[in-house]
Structure 1
């Protein structure tokens, strides 16, 4: 069995990012959230677009008020009012000021803004009650934050709300993004039936296809449901061959153990795949198969996940998720990020494999805390996996973590709750 970290390294080495030229598409800005840039972005405008006020107050010449004080005060004539969005019409001369509001364009001749709290208005005159600390106070200079035609966002950037705001400000209304990774998902087993179909004795509902499709979508991928494949070598071979023509990654569940009906490895080799992983020292999820097929123009990576529902999701989160991040064109940060947390219960493991226990990762008063899900931690018990936000790691060789001890936790799915 391969150690977990070694298996992760093999997976990330096998997966190559989508091609920035071939696998890109043009999107409007409203459709760009959650997408990854396939090309760097630059804007045609400086930001700020012009000198503007950072405060409600008065625009004036620093030299007129540099030595002002509360007694006696400097008094200036107000010659214009400049709300945001209105270009100034008057050039400020000595002894003059313009009433200006936050975001308002600075008038010619003025170089400083006095906030209104340090002034007193009397008709068309304004008294300056306290001098500015320096020339240019409360003025945002043109191009201070960004100069036109310089790189705004690099290729490989995952676009979130702040990035969308930046692109909108720079009037970048069309972006070039990597297409979404396509992931084919198939379930194997004569015992499986889809949800909604009455169960006959001995049958099981196929939850894996739905869970993995949701996990793929959450990562920005496009799930391709291939359905339930019976335990017949010909049917499985046809399904895998078909999946490889449709997808960048192929996920199957079941058929990778050592049972009489487990044909996956045999079929992968028959189809020309090279198997790189057969078993991993992880619990749950030991029977994990990973293979690569060389297809023009891009190779396809195959993940044979265990059939047990919990094992399928744990191995997805631990190995497929980082693979999808790299495949999607993300510039860096593919590897899983573990957080340190205190355990709120005693945790137990066998010690022979790296063990993952599911539960809730929460922000406590003095850091993160992990609460173990109640009930049996069996790989067949999907019920207590609901609302999982973290997987606690018990290292190989360790059998017990006491309440209050720190441990590593892999955040999962929904945001960490307070």
Structure 2
């Protein structure tokens, strides 16, 4: 072929001839009529990848941190773990946390059922049913039922009055049965109040537990108005209706009772200290000394902070000032006037010492300890309590009473009881 002749096989534009060097990629003139096939993404282990966190895992964690929903947390968490084994998705940690919370809820529920702590359920017509108070059972005035409204009259154990002592037995099926007994005999608990639960329909077991616990929270100090007479081993428990039948038969009520864990279900004697067995002078003295009695457990705690004891000394002085004022305002019987006057004089002297301790800046810790040793108001209160026939030993701090005095305390002139708890 001559040099001037054009090569008929040369590519347009003077590109390299076919077969010489790399070739440009082939592009179809009109494009492909079908898109390339797409497949769901997969993890290296072959599981399909799903965007976001697993919904069951999230729900498991939410129900796990919500009170009383541990069964749902456990079920949702297990379901989430099963799903996560089949797909690659976030949320395994949430699911594991939900399962753990569910297991903790299960363990707490089983422990509560086995130990009977705080609550005793009563089912309709079966477990927990008991007869009316037996002969010799101590019964006080009925709990006011003004809040009952149209609630039916309570029957069975829910008809028990404050002051009723009772035994508890458990059958082979785990059902608990209660029977009223005398408080002078070994007993499981002592009823402090019958409380009416709100609403006209049964709220469900979990809500009934919460309501009974809240309504019974003040049952101890209302029933034992003498703080010194409350042993530190005594706890407030309650008996609540576990179903709609017990709810209706119990008049929408729950029972609050005292249980002494040191006696292990065989307590003897009544703990009651209220208007049913205290004289007016005894009740007035306990009312006036209440703020001081609340403060006294702090005296047993060692103190090392100079700044804190300064505030503490000032607080003791203020409380004593209030107690002295209320003692002077009350009307006392002729047999108690001299004893109360002696108590007021002693507390005034103690107040002066605590005021001086609060004003001390050189050695506030030393001043606090000196006032605690030499001007402790517990000493004056003990004398007055003994004179009026009240408990003369604080059972909150030490359950073992001191040896009796060589001379028996004088019986109160107004007929109050001289027995100590």
Fold equivalence (TM over 0.5): no
**Greater helix fraction, Structure 1 or Structure 2:** 2
TM-score by length of 1: 0.19
**Greater radius of gyration (CA):** 2
Greater length-normalized contact order (CA 8 Å, ≥ 6 residues apart): 1
Of Structure 1 and Structure 2, the greater strand share is in 1
